[in-house]
């Protein structure tokens, strides 16, 4: 073989991608593109060989060789490449052997540095031939294969006929290389590159096909061929002719149709609603390249988005548009590694076919080399190589995702979806089942009916007989043998019977964990009644609710708890009080006949309505769980369980009954009176039990300690997601001989119904799989249309079988909603757990969180458990909980209603409207309206006040704040009218409109008053600060005015500054309802409080305090020297009167150049920001008060509030003052928050960097918050709702979040919550950081004083700005008082 290098070229973009893949897998025939063509006829072998050499001479792509220099690949075209096509004699071979030969040959590695192809002619025994041709993908693509085939056929024909007709020479691939390089470098194509860059960026996140890879990454794949058949192809063609569907060409239409089906398939096997799949573009648009052999094809992503209830037709229409963009931008040389990484599956619509060879019929086959690109999990090729008119699908399925059993199912899943599509294109995409009827039947029929099981009381009775002298229960030194327990419970049962308790009734048991509790449970069951366990920590109200909801016949309790209960009409029995009576009662069992359907217990779980809901569990369901557990958890020694978890939690049922029905023992651990329950520590310390049932959160508390000496050998974990890392730690600290079980089960399916035994070799995912359903229970994973989802795909978990509850007590609607008719079995109910799950590759169920906690950010499903698991990998993190904090949904603007009296909008925080549409502020005001009137005075009083210090200043009685608006102009005129000497003061904030300035100048000259304009260079910074702090500009402006006016007043010794605050604004800034609670409060006192608040106001941190000279306010004297007087406290004038006066007397003209009714052009910026971030105008609240005070009408305020905002102007001013708008409003924010515990607080950067290694950007929490410990609910689960209630500033606080404890902290926290409108307050949260200002201080202090009957001063809250400090102070004060 001779060879000379003619020309060296770089690789094209498309070749580079293939090269990179091949380089990573140097010994894998990943890109071999082999075809076998069976030719039905005789071939002249020598002519064929000559023809093939001629082909190589003609086609430069075949002479391409590849190499690499300094890590950069190159290609060159050898001028001469001699290749004698091998002729293989297969006449002695069977068909199967020939197939094997071809398969093996097609997997030969091609030597790219010398020859990128391989060929052979196989002589068959039937006289026919097979031409085998294998080309590396670097030199070919689907169209090329047909070009090579046709050319060889033509050359062969020519040679055979000795024809002299020249076969037209086609362009060389070399020209394409040059063309492609130019296109790649062409700056005109920048917009194309930008387009793809943005596309890739906006659709990040690959769909997890069938749950994503379950096995190691590999190139290995299996090809499955599916012939669509005549009927389907016919239907496709009919659809393609539909004018509503038809695209430019039939091929484009078919591509769009198949893309729709394929995209729907990907959606249905991944659950992801927005993704891209790769679609190869053949790139031979230029006429000069139509016949050129070589790799032209580039793969570009086609983006799809699914919306709720989309039909196939909806998706098709979206794809039609998207494929137009695809065509526009899928241009030669534009593909990049980033583009290549934006999809993990391919739809390859191949429009190429092989005709005859020298007039002989040909049957072609594209041979799969057994490998595909490592990043492609599915490739679906649509082909019709032999031009039969019938399409064939070739699925290449990557073994990292697909095992043998799944590979078999894929075609059926696809075809089921395709058939629904073809039958009715208006079908909702989610509706058709992917599984065949048979597959569904296999999965749903596959369960065993439970045979009769002994009910719990019978099982207990049996045990009593066999081990009567053995201890059944113990607590501290006390204990009962089985015989004693049996007899004592018989006595109590007999007593209860005498009290009228019988089968069908319900008896509540409100007790501490105690031997009495177990005794009572047994006694109640023996009467045939059902028991309702109510834990000792339940509030009286909740107990009251349960007693009435369940119509309890009786409440059993202990003396210790009795005093907390108000049982209402329910009879109450305190065990201690009847003890002597019971002791004399018969100890003989009176054997009530109990059926499986009879109720055993009712467990109350928290409900979404605020009231708990009672779950009805029958004896049959209880027996099913216990009978299974007894066998499943059985060990050599009888169970010894601690009773240490809440009796109101269904997890505790295991510890309550399992020992008693199996001859084991219960060791009782009573809960501590208050504070955290440390029973678990006691259990471990005493080391008396061999089995334990608890939550992962309990376990996290004891994680890290060495427990090798523990007697515990069986650990049943339930109630929460069980992280693998925790399980691994436990296995290590307790030793390998401990069996750890993960038991899943909602209360509604009786304690546990899916279980796995932890095995660190198998359980390597984030969380320990929940395993397989227990005997008698069936579990299904279904989609929204109740179809079974395919393996690996996430769906909702439904349960059926013997463990199911009978429903919810008195909640028929909810029962029907949650316990639905099974679509698989008419005699069965399915319980909708609301949990997400999937079946993993080894057939175990995996729990993936709550449906209602399902988090989607920008179209991606976010696995909170995944983030948690990765956080846990950080060495300094002990425990973690990740939540999404979502602000309550903003009320859409068109749904906002306004109070029918004052106009307050319903999107103002915490509003509450009554049936007449009146807001709570108006209603509350009715209660103190009269008291509030005391605050207001007359104009005479004003005149007297302002004259009272006449002479103190040589020139003026007062300063009048003049903004140029109507209110301040009116004041100035009135003060002059009163005969006062006035200095008019205006803050020039840089945004007073020209017309307003005109007004000011005209007014001061007409009224003949002295006037000053004051200003500060810091105005813009003050605006920006005010926008950040208060979401408006006015707060900053007001404070600047007060500061500057005070300075002038001090300099000129002017004793009064008259403000133009409206009465409405008083209630925004000075007055609160609390001031008027005390009906005897005198006005002077209210004034004192307001003055105190004003002093605090000037101490608040903000830009004014930072940038301006505010030293005067540090001196209390200043507040005596300069008194602020609110004019409208003394004057009661309506808007209408005012406007008439202004027009007639002072020639005031409403400015038309501010865009609204003010004098200031920046005002609307404040309103814009406030509306955007808070949802309502900052004027809504003060204006509503103006209406309440009778100064404005509702219509007038609504008109003002709804004035149009000039957004262009607003944006211009934003730029001018240097304010950057936040990208999303506070209302829309979803914050991903990572809470963690550990030895110390870690920096967010540290945690972010740690997570970045494993997680995509959208899964990195925006906030991290350090906690001393995770808050738990009384059932021992992480209290996620508490964690979700923190607001932004709380998340940003340096201090760890600690929930309030003890009466006073809880009281303070509840006051803070109400006043500061927070959902949650931590005891170390800072009052000011939470938005506590002086007015809030008035409210909080007033409320505290009211509650504890003290007179704490206003500034205490700033001295002691946390709940913890203030609570300590209150406690100390109270203690001191008591000691006196």
Partner 1 sequence: MNEEIVAYIKNEITSEPLLEINSSDNLLETGIVDSMGMMKLILFLEKQFKKRVPAEDMTIDNFETVEKIASYFSA
* 290 binds partner 1, rule: CB under 8 A: yes
- What is the C-alpha separation between 75 and 757, in angstroms, rounded? 57
User: What is the closest distance, in whole angstroms, from the C-beta atom of residue 297 to partner 1 in the complex?
Assistant: 12
- What is the C-alpha separation between 389 and 386, in angstroms, rounded? 8
* 327 binds partner 1, rule: CB under 8 A: yes
Here's the x/- map for partner 1, 975-1004, by CB under 8 A: it reads as: ------------------------------
Considering only 325, 886, 930, 1137, the residue that binds partner 1 (CB under 8 A) is 325
Residue closer to partner 1, measured from CB, 239 or 1160: 239
- What is the C-alpha separation between 178 and 9, in angstroms, rounded? 8
User: What is the closest distance, in whole angstroms, from the C-beta atom of residue 63 to partner 1 in the complex?
Assistant: 24
* 284 binds partner 1, rule: CB under 8 A: yes
**Are 621 and 805 within 8 A, CB to CB?**
yes
* 322 binds partner 1, rule: CB under 8 A: yes
Q: Which residues pair with 398 in a beta bridge?
A: 221
Residue closer to partner 1, measured from CB, 349 or 657: 349
Q: Please give the residues from 15 up to 44 whose contact with partner 1 meets the rule CB under 8 A.
A: none
* 246 binds partner 1, rule: CB under 8 A: yes
Residue closer to partner 1, measured from CB, 168 or 1204: 168
Instruction: Tell me the CA end-to-end span of the chain in Å, nearest whole number.
Output: 114
* 409 binds partner 1, rule: CB under 8 A: no
Q: Please give the residues from 417 up to 476 whose contact with partner 1 meets the rule CB under 8 A.
A: none
**Token representation of residue 104:** 């093996």
User: What is the closest distance, in whole angstroms, from the C-beta atom of residue 243 to partner 1 in the complex?
Assistant: 9
User: What is the closest distance, in whole angstroms, from the C-beta atom of residue 14 to partner 1 in the complex?
Assistant: 16
In three-state secondary structure terms, 343 is coil
Residue closer to partner 1, measured from CB, 154 or 726: 154
- What is the C-alpha separation between 52 and 135, in angstroms, rounded? 14
* 1150 binds partner 1, rule: CB under 8 A: no
The size of the interface with partner 1 (CB under 8 A), counted in residues, is 21
Residue closer to partner 1, measured from CB, 99 or 246: 246
The piece of 324-332, 452-460, 589-597, 852-860 that touches partner 1 (CB under 8 A) is 324-332
The piece of 223-231, 323-331, 981-989, 1139-1147 that touches partner 1 (CB under 8 A) is 323-331
* 353 binds partner 1, rule: CB under 8 A: no
* 282 binds partner 1, rule: CB under 8 A: yes
* 281 binds partner 1, rule: CB under 8 A: yes
**DSSP string over 553-622:** SEEEE-HHHHTT---TTS-EEEHHHHHHHHHTS--S-------TTSEEEEEEE--TTSS-EEEEEEHHHH
- What is the C-alpha separation between 232 and 224, in angstroms, rounded? 18
* 324 binds partner 1, rule: CB under 8 A: yes
- What is the C-alpha separation between 813 and 268, in angstroms, rounded? 31
* 1253 binds partner 1, rule: CB under 8 A: no
* 247 binds partner 1, rule: CB under 8 A: yes
**Token representation of residue 469:** 């002298």
Residue with tokens 């019977």: 497
Residue closer to partner 1, measured from CB, 199 or 399: 199
- What is the C-alpha separation between 1333 and 1090, in angstroms, rounded? 13
- What is the C-alpha separation between 1129 and 1083, in angstroms, rounded? 12
- What is the C-alpha separation between 1131 and 1067, in angstroms, rounded? 16
User: What is the closest distance, in whole angstroms, from the C-beta atom of residue 249 to partner 1 in the complex?
Assistant: 5
* 202 binds partner 1, rule: CB under 8 A: no
* 251 binds partner 1, rule: CB under 8 A: yes
Residue with tokens 């929204």: 784
Largest Cα span, the chain: 130
Residues belonging to the chain? 1380
Give CA angle at 885 (880, 886), nearest 5°: 160
Instruction: Give, in order, the Cα–Cα distances in Å from 1342 to each of 263, 1077, 1086, 1348.
Output: 62, 9, 11, 10
Considering only 107, 128, 158, 286, the residue that binds partner 1 (CB under 8 A) is 286
* 291 binds partner 1, rule: CB under 8 A: yes
Residue with tokens 């196989």: 122
The piece of 30-38, 322-330, 399-407, 768-776 that touches partner 1 (CB under 8 A) is 322-330
User: What is the closest distance, in whole angstroms, from the C-beta atom of residue 169 to partner 1 in the complex?
Assistant: 14
The piece of 278-286, 499-507, 1149-1157, 1275-1283 that touches partner 1 (CB under 8 A) is 278-286
Instruction: Give, in order, the Cα–Cα distances in Å from 1102 to each of 32, 674, 1022, 1037, 1039.
Output: 70, 42, 8, 12, 10
Residue with tokens 């009272």: 948
**Token representation of residue 179:** 């063309």
Among the listed residues 212, 266, 224, 251, the one whose alpha carbon sits nearest the alpha carbon of residue 417: 266
* 187 binds partner 1, rule: CB under 8 A: no
User: What is the closest distance, in whole angstroms, from the C-beta atom of residue 244 to partner 1 in the complex?
Assistant: 11
1053: left (phi over 0), alpha (psi -120 to 50) or beta: left
- Helical segments of 716-824, H only: 724-734, 812-818
- What is the C-alpha separation between 961 and 948, in angstroms, rounded? 19
Considering only 23, 80, 328, 498, the residue that binds partner 1 (CB under 8 A) is 328
Instruction: Give, in order, the Cα–Cα distances in Å from 1109 to each of 1020, 1103, 1113.
Output: 16, 11, 9
Give CA angle at 1208 (1204, 1211), nearest 5°: 110
The piece of 148-156, 283-291, 492-500, 1085-1093 that touches partner 1 (CB under 8 A) is 283-291
Q: Please give the residues from 847 up to 886 whose contact with partner 1 meets the rule CB under 8 A.
A: none
* 285 binds partner 1, rule: CB under 8 A: yes
* 1099 binds partner 1, rule: CB under 8 A: no
- What is the C-alpha separation between 1073 and 925, in angstroms, rounded? 8
User: What is the closest distance, in whole angstroms, from the C-beta atom of residue 1133 to partner 1 in the complex?
Assistant: 58
Residue closer to partner 1, measured from CB, 97 or 198: 198
**Token representation of residue 1099:** 């101490």
User: What is the closest distance, in whole angstroms, from the C-beta atom of residue 326 to partner 1 in the complex?
Assistant: 9
* 50 binds partner 1, rule: CB under 8 A: no
Considering only 79, 202, 242, 249, the residue that binds partner 1 (CB under 8 A) is 249
Residue closer to partner 1, measured from CB, 195 or 1358: 195
Residue closer to partner 1, measured from CB, 171 or 969: 171
User: What is the closest distance, in whole angstroms, from the C-beta atom of residue 237 to partner 1 in the complex?
Assistant: 15
- What is the C-alpha separation between 286 and 655, in angstroms, rounded? 77
User: What is the closest distance, in whole angstroms, from the C-beta atom of residue 334 to partner 1 in the complex?
Assistant: 13
User: What is the closest distance, in whole angstroms, from the C-beta atom of residue 284 to partner 1 in the complex?
Assistant: 8
* 87 binds partner 1, rule: CB under 8 A: no
**Token representation of residue 1100:** 């608040």
**Are 1366 and 1357 within 8 A, CB to CB?**
yes
The piece of 317-325, 503-511, 1300-1308, 1344-1352 that touches partner 1 (CB under 8 A) is 317-325
Considering only 84, 321, 551, 631, the residue that binds partner 1 (CB under 8 A) is 321
- What is the C-alpha separation between 22 and 619, in angstroms, rounded? 64
* 611 binds partner 1, rule: CB under 8 A: no
The piece of 32-40, 44-52, 276-284, 711-719 that touches partner 1 (CB under 8 A) is 276-284
* 834 binds partner 1, rule: CB under 8 A: no
User: What is the closest distance, in whole angstroms, from the C-beta atom of residue 188 to partner 1 in the complex?
Assistant: 9
The piece of 248-256, 380-388, 768-776, 1204-1212 that touches partner 1 (CB under 8 A) is 248-256
Sign of CA dihedral 420, 422, 423, 424: positive
Residues that bind partner 1 (CB under 8 A): 246-249, 251-252, 281-287, 290-291, 321-322, 324-325, 327-328
């Amino acid at each position: 073989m001779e060879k000379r290098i003619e020309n060296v070229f770089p690789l094209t973009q498309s070749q580079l991608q293939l090269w990179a893949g091949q380089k990573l897998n140097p010994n894998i025939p990943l890109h071999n593109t082999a075809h076998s063509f069976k030719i039905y006829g005789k071939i002249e072998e020598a002519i064929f060989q000559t023809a093939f050499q001629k082909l190589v001479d003609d086609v430069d792509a075949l002479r391409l060789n590849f190499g690499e220099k300094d890590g950069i690949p190159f290609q060159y075209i050898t001028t001469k490449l001699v290749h004698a096509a091998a002729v293989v004699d297969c006449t002695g071979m069977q068909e199967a052997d020939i197939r094997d030969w071809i398969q093996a040959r097609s997997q030969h590695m091609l030597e790219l540095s010398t020859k990128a192809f391989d060929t052979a002619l196989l002589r068959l025994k039937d006289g026919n031939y097979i031409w085998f041709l294998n080309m590396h993908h670097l030199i070919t693509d689907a169209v090329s294969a047909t070009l090579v085939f046709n050319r060889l056929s033509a050359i062969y024909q020519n040679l055979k006929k000795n024809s002299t007709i020249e076969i037209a020479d086609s362009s060389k691939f070399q020209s394409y290389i040059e063309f492609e390089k130019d296109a790649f470098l062409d700056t005109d194509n920048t917009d194309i590159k930008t387009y793809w860059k943005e596309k890739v960026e906006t659709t990040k996140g690959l769909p997890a096909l069938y749950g994503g890879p379950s096995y190691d990454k590999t190139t290995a794949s299996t090809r499955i061929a599916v012939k669509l058949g005549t009927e389907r192809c016919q239907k496709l063609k009919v659809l393609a002719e539909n004018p509503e569907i038809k695209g430019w060409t039939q091929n484009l239409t078919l591509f769009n149709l198949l893309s729709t089906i394929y995209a729907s398939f990907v959606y249905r096997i991944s659950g992801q609603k927005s993704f891209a799949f790769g679609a190869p573009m053949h790139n031979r648009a230029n006429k000069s390249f139509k016949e050129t052999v070589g790799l032209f094809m580039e793969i570009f992503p086609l983006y799809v988005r699914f919306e709720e209830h989309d039909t196939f037709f909806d998706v098709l229409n979206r794809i039609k548009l998207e494929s137009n963009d695809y065509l526009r931008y899928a241009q030669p040389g534009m593909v990049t590694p980033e583009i290549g990484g934006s999809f993990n599956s391919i739809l390859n619509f191949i429009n190429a076919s092989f005709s005859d060879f020298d007039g002989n019929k040909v049957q072609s086959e594209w041979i799969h080399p057994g490998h595909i690109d490592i990043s492609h999990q599915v490739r679906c090729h649509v082909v019709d190589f032999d031009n039969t008119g019938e399409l064939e699908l070739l699925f290449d399925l990557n073994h990292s995702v697909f095992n043998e059993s799944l590979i078999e199912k894929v075609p059926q899943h696809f075809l089921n979806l395709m058939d629904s599509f073809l039958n009715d294109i208006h079908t909702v995409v989610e509706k058709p089942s992917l599984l065949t009827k048979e597959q569904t039947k296999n999965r749903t029929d596959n369960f065993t009916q439970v045979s009769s099981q002994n009910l719990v009381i019978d099982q207990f009775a049996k045990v009593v007989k066999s081990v009567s002298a053995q201890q059944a229960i113990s607590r501290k030194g006390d204990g009962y043998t089985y015989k004693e327990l049996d007899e004592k419970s018989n006595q109590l049962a007999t007593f209860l019977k005498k009290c009228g308790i019988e089968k069908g009734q319900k008896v509540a048991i409100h007790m501490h964990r105690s031997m009495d509790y177990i005794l009572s449970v047994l006694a109640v069951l023996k009467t045939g009644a059902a028991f309702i366990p109510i834990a000792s920590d339940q509030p009286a109200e909740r107990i009251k609710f349960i007693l009435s909801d369940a119509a309890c016949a009786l409440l059993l309790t202990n003396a210790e708890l009795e005093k907390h209960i108000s049982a209402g009409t329910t009879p109450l029995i305190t065990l201690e009080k009847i003890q002597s009576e019971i002791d004399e009662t018969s100890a003989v069992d009176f054997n009530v006949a109990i059926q499986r359907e009879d109720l055993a217990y009712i467990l109350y779980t928290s409900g979404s309505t605020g009231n708990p809901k009672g779950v009805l569990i029958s004896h049959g369901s209880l027996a099913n769980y216990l009978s299974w557990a007894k066998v499943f958890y059985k060990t050599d020694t009888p169970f010894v369980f601690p009773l240490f978890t809440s009796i109101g939690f269904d997890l505790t049922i295991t510890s309550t009954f399992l020992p008693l029905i199996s001859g084991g023992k219960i060791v009782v651990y009573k809960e501590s009176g208050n504070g955290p329950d440390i029973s678990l520590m006691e259990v471990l310390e005493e080391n008396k039990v061999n089995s334990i049932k608890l939550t992962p959160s309990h376990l996290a508390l004891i994680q890290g300690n060495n427990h090798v000496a523990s007697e515990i050998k069986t650990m049943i974990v339930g109630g929460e997601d069980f992280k693998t890392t925790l399980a691994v730690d436990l296995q290590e600290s307790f030793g390998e001989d401990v069996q750890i079980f993960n038991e899943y089960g909602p209360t509604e399916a009786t304690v546990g119904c899916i279980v796995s035994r932890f095995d660190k070799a198998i359980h390597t995912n984030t969380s320990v799989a929940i395993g397989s359903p227990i005997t008698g229970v069936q579990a299904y994973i279904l989609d929204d249309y109740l179809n079974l989802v395919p393996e690996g795909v996430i769906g909702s978990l439904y349960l059926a079988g013997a463990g199911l509850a009978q429903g919810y007590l008195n909640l028929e609607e909810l029962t029907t909603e949650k316990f639905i008719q099974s679509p698989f079995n008419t005699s069965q109910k399915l319980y909708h757990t609301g949990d997400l799950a999937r079946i993993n590759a080894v057939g175990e169920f995996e729990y993936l969180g709550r449906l209602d906690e399902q988090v989607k950010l920008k179209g991606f499903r976010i696995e909170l458990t995944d983030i948690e698991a990765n956080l846990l990998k950080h060495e300094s993190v002990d425990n973690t909980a990740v939540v999404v904090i979502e602000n309550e949904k903003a009320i859409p603007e068109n749904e906002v209603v306004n109070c029918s009296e004052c106009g307050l909008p319903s999107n103002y925080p915490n509003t509450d409207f009554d049936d007449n549409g009146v807001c709570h502020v108006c209603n509350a005001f009715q209660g103190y309206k009269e008291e509030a009137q005391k605050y207001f005075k007359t104009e005479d009083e004003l005149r007297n006040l302002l004259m009272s210090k006449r002479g103190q200043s040589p020139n003026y009685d007062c300063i009048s704040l003049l903004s140029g608006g109507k209110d301040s102009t009116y004041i100035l005129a009135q003060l002059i009218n009163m005969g006062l000497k006035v200095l008019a003061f205006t803050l020039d904030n840089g945004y007073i409109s020209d017309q307003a300035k005109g007004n000011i100048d005209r007014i001061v000259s007409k009224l003949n008053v002295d006037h000053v304009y004051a200003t500060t260079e810091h105005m813009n910074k003050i605006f920006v600060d005010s926008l950040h702090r208060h979401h408006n500009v006015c707060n900053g402006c007001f404070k600047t005015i007060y500061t500057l006016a005070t300075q002038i007043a001090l300099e000129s010794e002017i004793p009064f500054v008259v403000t133009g605050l409206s009465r409405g604004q008083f209630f925004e800034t000075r007055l609160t309802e609390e001031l008027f609670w005390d009906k005897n409060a005198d006005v002077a006192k209210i004034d004192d409080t307001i003055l105190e608040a004003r002093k605090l106001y000037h101490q608040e941190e903000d830009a004014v305090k930072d940038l301006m000279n505010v030293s005067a306010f540090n001196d209390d004297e200043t507040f005596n020297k300069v008194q602020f007087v609110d004019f409208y406290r003394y004057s009661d004038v309506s808007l209408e009167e005012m406007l008439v006066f202004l027009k007639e007397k002072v020639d005031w003209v409403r400015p038309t150049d501010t865009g609204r009714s003010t004098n200031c052009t920046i005002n609307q910026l404040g309103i814009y920001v406030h509306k955007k971030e808070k949802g309502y105008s900052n004027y809504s609240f003060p204006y509503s008060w103006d209406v309440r005070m009778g100064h404005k009408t509702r219509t007038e305020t609504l008109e003002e509030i709804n004035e149009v905002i000039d957004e262009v102007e607003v944006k211009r001013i934003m730029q001018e003052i240097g304010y950057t708008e936040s990208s999303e409003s506070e209302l829309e924010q979803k914050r991903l928050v990572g809470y963690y515990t550990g030895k110390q607080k870690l920096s967010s950067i540290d945690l972010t960097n740690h997570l970045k290694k494993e997680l995509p950007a959208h899964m990195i929490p925006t906030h991290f918050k350090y906690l001393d410990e995770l808050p738990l609910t009384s059932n021992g689960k992480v209290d996620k709702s508490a964690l979700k209630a923190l607001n932004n500033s709380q998340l940003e606080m340096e201090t760890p979040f600690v929930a309030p404890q003890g009466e006073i902290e809880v009281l303070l926290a509840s006051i803070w919550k109400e006043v500061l409108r927070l959902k949650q307050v931590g005891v170390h949260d800072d009052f000011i950081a939470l938005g506590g200002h002086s007015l809030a201080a008035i409210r909080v202090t007033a409320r505290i004083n009211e509650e504890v009957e003290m007179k704490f001063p206003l500034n205490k809250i700033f001295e002691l700005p946390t709940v913890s400090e203030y609570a300590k102070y209150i406690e100390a004060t109270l203690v001191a008082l008591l000691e006196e």
